[in-house]
Structure 1
Amino acid sequence: MDQRFSGRDGHPFWLSLTFIPAQEEPSGRTVIVYAQDVTDSRIADQLTVDSRDLYNLFIKDDQSMISFSLPDGTITFISPSSYSQIGYHPEEVIGRNRAEFYHLEDVEAVNSSGGLLKNDISIRRLRHKEGQYLWFETSFHMIRGEKGEITRIMGIGRNVTRRKHSEEALASAQRVARIGSWGWDLVKGRITFSEELRRILQYSVETGQVNQEAFLALVHPEDVRILQEAVERAKGLGEPGNTAYRMILPDGEVLMVHVQWDVIPGPEGRPAQLFGMMQDITERMHMEEQLRESERNFRLMSENSLDLISRHAIKDSIFLYCSPASRSLLGYEPEEMIGTSAYDYLHPDDLEMILNQMAESEDSGLIPPASYRYRHKNGTYVWFETNSRYIFDAQGRKTEIIAVGRDITERKQFESKLQENEQRYKSLFEYNPAAVYSMNLQGTI
């Protein structure tokens, strides 16, 4: 039997024990023990078992593809998972060069970086037997001989195509949204930037870690304090936050950015890193400024215009906005009219005409000018002439109505008097029994 013992130095050793009864003793109570040190053989057996288990683990792992190749790239072994991963049986791969399976661009990258003769982790494209390319993340390890020369290269690869596509989709989304990520080491005072963020900043920051002073030099002098105060708050409170500030790029362009971050604590619980996103909002800020300018101009015109400017919902022509001219024209405060229907103020004799006109305009999309009587707050009616049009959204759907109306009461009264005078003049000729004629100064009738 084999038994494990502990030596004086604490290291274990194995002995093979054989027990034999002594023949001279009739009682049979004396036993001779033969002990043989079998420590080396036990260790060798265990190594054999461990190696076999490790080998079986590699061979049966369908998620990884293990390969061995010579320094010149010739493949000498590849695990059976090659069939499930890239569609090739091992015998179709062994004896061929690795470069035969790489994408052409990746072959050039391998050659320019010194090939595979170094311990490294790389992400490259491998050609599937069906022709498509798959992304593999492979860890390479050099195996050296007694003289230190490289004898073989072991590669352990995993299919990361799905992850790569997700990363590319994220990078594409970041390019469209002009968003990049960054990390700020508060202890070392250094910052790292994603490739997209470096592109946004016109590559004014280097790859790897950048000194925070170099980054602050890009911030607009008037906004440096804003950023520094935000960082100090993050250090002090250890809470996520956000801020916006301007940056000056190498070509002089001023960039408006919005940043937000999370705080990562260190071993002692104090804030050690900030990790966040930066978005270029320059275009959005310009658009917002243009919108504010447009709103200021509209408000300036509407508040000082003698005409009644209003916005209405499509249904029931509910007032959404009413300019201050409502006070002088109709006696109502704008707030009194907002939320009420424009039809509520129409003269009963004009209501049907306007409703029919609006019904017809829903098909044509055009609202013709209209004249009608509108009720003043004092109960009288005022003649109005209104020009209206529909506002459409990006899909071409009607969203609301904008209208500009003016008081034409005096014009209507003048037209009424003119019509009355014409009638009187006409009656003077039609019902007068005497002859009535006119002639010029030369006597011509």
Structure 2
Amino acid sequence: LHTEDRPKIEAKMREQVRAGGRLEFDSTLLLTNGSYRWVLVAGAMFSSARTQGMPQLMGVVMYITGRKKAETDLVREEKKYRQRVNNANEWLLVSQIGMIRFSNPMPRQILGYMREEIVGAPFGKYIHPDDLQLVTKNHLTLPAGNFVPRDMFRVIDQNGVMHWLETSGVPCEWEGSAAA
């Protein structure tokens, strides 16, 4: 076992000897070539007449290095994705059933609203009343599989000032349902 993991694992094993039951933990093993591999250790503590009441551990050790690498890669890619979305110079949003379900931070610069104020609001809340029908037609009644046509419309910011936006979009899935 990796020297940094040993105290934690020994403490878990002592607790399981006292309490009985299942034992499961991830750790790294030092191989003879000096490299490390991730393993999952799963087992159960037991004692029997044959062991004269002495606690025994029966279990398996599974290599999970591939899984750990995939988890690490996923976290790294998600972090890069979040950085790109949160730092985009465009307002990225997901609308679903007439509501804004996701937004990056850009509305703060465009409309003066925090992302938390935007998410959960009706899609049309910020659109100029004269443009609402067109935007609704193009964005909210989008047939499945079609792109949102590129168009321009006006929005009203927190101070009542009008701004022009150009928009386009693609259909997507958000939390298991169709969105755009």
Q: TM-score range by the shorter chain?
A: 0.7 to 0.9
Alignment of 1:397-412 (within 5 A): 399-401=178-180
Q: Does 1:236 align with 2:24?
A: no
2:94 to 282, 288, 311: 311
RMSD of aligned C-alpha atoms?
3.0
Q: What is aligned with 1:341?
A: 122
In 2, the alpha carbon distance for the partners of 1:359 and 1:377 equals: 23
In 1, the alpha carbon distance for the partners of 2:20 and 2:168 equals: 59
State the AA in 2 paired with 1:290.
D
Change (3 A) 1:364 1:300: closer
Contact kept, 8 Å, 1:376 with 1:382, in 2: the verdict is yes
In 2, the alpha carbon distance for the partners of 1:361 and 1:277 equals: 53
Q: What whole-Å deviation, never above 9, does each CA across 1:257-305 have from its counterpart, x for those lacking one?
A: 2233322134499662223344443333222222221222222233333
Residue segments in structure 1 that go unaligned for 5+ positions in a row: 1-218, 402-445
C-alpha displacement of 1:327: 1.4
C-alpha displacement of 1:248: 4.1
In 2, the alpha carbon distance for the partners of 1:269 and 1:238 equals: 16
Q: Which has the higher contact order (CA 8 A, sep 6+)?
A: 2
Change (3 A) 1:249 1:366: farther
Contact kept, 8 Å, 2:145 with 2:171, in 1: the verdict is no
Change (3 A) 1:387 1:252: farther
Alignment of 1:381-392 (within 5 A): 381-392=162-173
Q: What is aligned with 2:64?
A: 281
1:291 to 48, 69, 74: 74
C-alpha displacement of 1:331: 0.8
1:259 to 15, 32, 41: 41
Contact kept, 8 Å, 1:392 with 1:400, in 2: the verdict is yes
How many residue pairs match? The answer is 178
SS at match of 1:358: helix
Q: So what's the TM-score if we normalise by structure 1?
A: 0.35
Q: What is aligned with 1:367?
A: 148
Change (3 A) 1:310 1:359: closer
In 1, the alpha carbon distance for the partners of 2:68 and 2:103 equals: 28
Contact kept, 8 Å, 1:235 with 1:271, in 2: the verdict is no
Alignment of 1:218-233 (within 5 A): 219-233=1-15
Q: What whole-Å deviation, never above 9, does each CA across 1:187-246 have from its counterpart, x for those lacking one?
A: xxxxxxxxxxxxxxxxxxxxxxxxxxxxxxxx3344333333322222233343321111
In 1, the alpha carbon distance for the partners of 2:152 and 2:104 equals: 19
C-alpha displacement of 1:392: 4.8
Contact kept, 8 Å, 1:248 with 1:254, in 2: the verdict is yes
Identity of aligned residues (%): 22
Change (3 A) 1:360 1:252: farther
Contact kept, 8 Å, 1:345 with 1:374, in 2: the verdict is yes
Q: What is aligned with 1:325?
A: 106
Q: So what's the TM-score if we normalise by structure 2?
A: 0.78
In 1, the alpha carbon distance for the partners of 2:104 and 2:55 equals: 55
In 2, the alpha carbon distance for the partners of 1:353 and 1:274 equals: 69
Contact kept, 8 Å, 1:370 with 1:387, in 2: the verdict is yes
Q: What whole-Å deviation, never above 9, does each CA across 1:361-405 have from its counterpart, x for those lacking one?
A: 324432222321122112222211123222359xxx86443xxxx
The structure that has the greater radius of gyration is 1
Q: Which has the higher helix share?
A: 1
Q: What whole-Å deviation, never above 9, does each CA across 1:36-94 have from its counterpart, x for those lacking one?
A: xxxxxxxxxxxxxxxxxxxxxxxxxxxxxxxxxxxxxxxxxxxxxxxxxxxxxxxxxxx
